[in-house]
């Protein structure tokens, strides 16, 4: 009888040990599952962040390229506008000369009419001369009107060109301490797109230095400012080497 009781107790102890071991193993398995799930979640999150960063970089590069293209088109439009301005100026000069000539002819005709009246010139001849004088007067008035139109067009062109032909002797505005980099370069028109914008304190005609590996590469003057980027022209007299994307921009 005692042997049976001892045997039962031993069996129950073994079963208890097995149950306890099973519970410990189950707990470890559950912990491993949770750690695996956390690792998978973190991996997926890292992949998503990497994809988002790649997409943001692609968008930023596309925007920089679009801005560079837009500035190239603006430069081309500026050349066309300057050519048109010169054409209009030449035309205005010709109109001015024609106006002076017509005025002189009108004065001369008036003198001749006065002389004819004093000399008793026949009325039919005087009428012919007066008709010619009226034609000259009308032509002169038309020239004056066209001259006014040309003057307005020239003033409009001057206003459009003012930002590009501003007084170069005026000192550049002082910028706050800034530091950025070159996003895009147009070697044909010698301008760059930089990631320093209005939010950083950039203003038009402000000047910045471009460097690479601690050496001066060029100096630029800001021509156009946006919220988070600017377009700047490379100053020829300060250009030491070709500007590349990624070069440091600072003042």
Q: What is the percent of the chain where pLDDT is above 70?
A: 80
Report pLDDT digits (tens) over 105-124. Answer: 887 777 766 666 665 656 56
> Where do the DSSP E strands lie in 166-206?
179-186, 191-194
pTM of the model: 0.37
C-alpha distances (whole Å) from 170 to each of 39, 176, 208, 222 are: 61, 19, 16, 14
Report pLDDT digits (tens) over 121-161. Answer: 565 666 777 778 788 888 888 888 888 888 888 877 776 66
Taking 60 as the threshold, does the pLDDT of residue 169 lie above it?
no
Mean pLDDT of the region 160-172: 64
Tell me the C-alpha distance between 72 and 68, whole Å.
6
pLDDT at 245: 96
Q: What is the percent of the chain where pLDDT is above 90?
A: 30
- What is residue 216's DSSP assignment? E
Taking 80 as the threshold, does the pLDDT of residue 233 lie above it?
yes
Q: Which residue, chain included where needed, has tokens 């590069």?
A: 61
Report pLDDT digits (tens) over 204-216. Answer: 999 999 999 999 9
Given a contact cutoff of 8 angstroms between Cβ atoms, the answer to whether 242 and 218 are in contact is: no
Q: Which long-range contacts (CB under 8 A, 24 or more apart) does 99-107 make?
A: 99/140, 99/143, 99/144, 99/147, 102/136, 102/139, 102/140, 102/143, 103/140, 105/136, 106/133, 106/136, 106/137, 106/140
pLDDT at 78: 79
Tokens read off for 134: 């009226």
Q: How confident is the model at residue 51 (pLDDT cuts 50, 70, 90)?
A: confident
Tell me the C-alpha distance between 228 and 208, whole Å.
16
Residues 25, 26, 31, CA angle at the centre, nearest 5°? Answer: 95
Cβ neighbors of 130 (< 8 A, separation 6 or more) are 113
Closest CA to 116 of 132, 139, 103: 132
- CB atoms near residue 184 (< 10 Å): 20
């Amino acid at each position: 009888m005692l042997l049976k009781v001892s045997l039962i107790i031993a069996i129950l102890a073994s079963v208890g040990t097995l149950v306890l071991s099973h519970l410990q193993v189950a707990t470890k398995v559950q912990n491993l599952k949770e750690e695996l799930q956390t690792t998978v979640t973190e991996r997926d999150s890292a992949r998503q962040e990497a994809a988002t960063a790649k997409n943001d970089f692609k968008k930023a590069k596309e925007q920089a390229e679009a801005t560079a293209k837009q500035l190239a088109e603006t430069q081309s439009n500026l050349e066309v506008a300057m050519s048109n301005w010169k054409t209009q100026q030449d035309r205005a000069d010709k109109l001015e000369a024609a106006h002076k000539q017509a005025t002189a002819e009108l004065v001369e005709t008036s003198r001749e009419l006065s002389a004819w009246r004093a000399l008793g010139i026949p009325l039919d001849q005087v009428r012919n001369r007066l008709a010619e004088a009226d034609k000259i007067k009308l032509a002169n008035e038309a020239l004056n009107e066209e001259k006014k139109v040309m003057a307005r067009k020239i003033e409009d062109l001057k206003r459009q060109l003012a930002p590009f032909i501003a007084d170069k002797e005026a000192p550049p505005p002082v910028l706050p301490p800034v530091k950025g980099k070159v996003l895009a370069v147009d070697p044909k028109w010698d301008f760059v797109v930089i990631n320093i914008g209005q939010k950083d304190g950039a203003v038009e005609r402000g000047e910045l230095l471009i460097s690479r590996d601690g050496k001066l590469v060029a100096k630029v003057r800001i021509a156009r400012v946006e919220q988070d980027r600017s377009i700047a022209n490379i100053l020829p007299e300060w250009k030491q080497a070709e500007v590349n994307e990624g070069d440091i921009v600072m003042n």
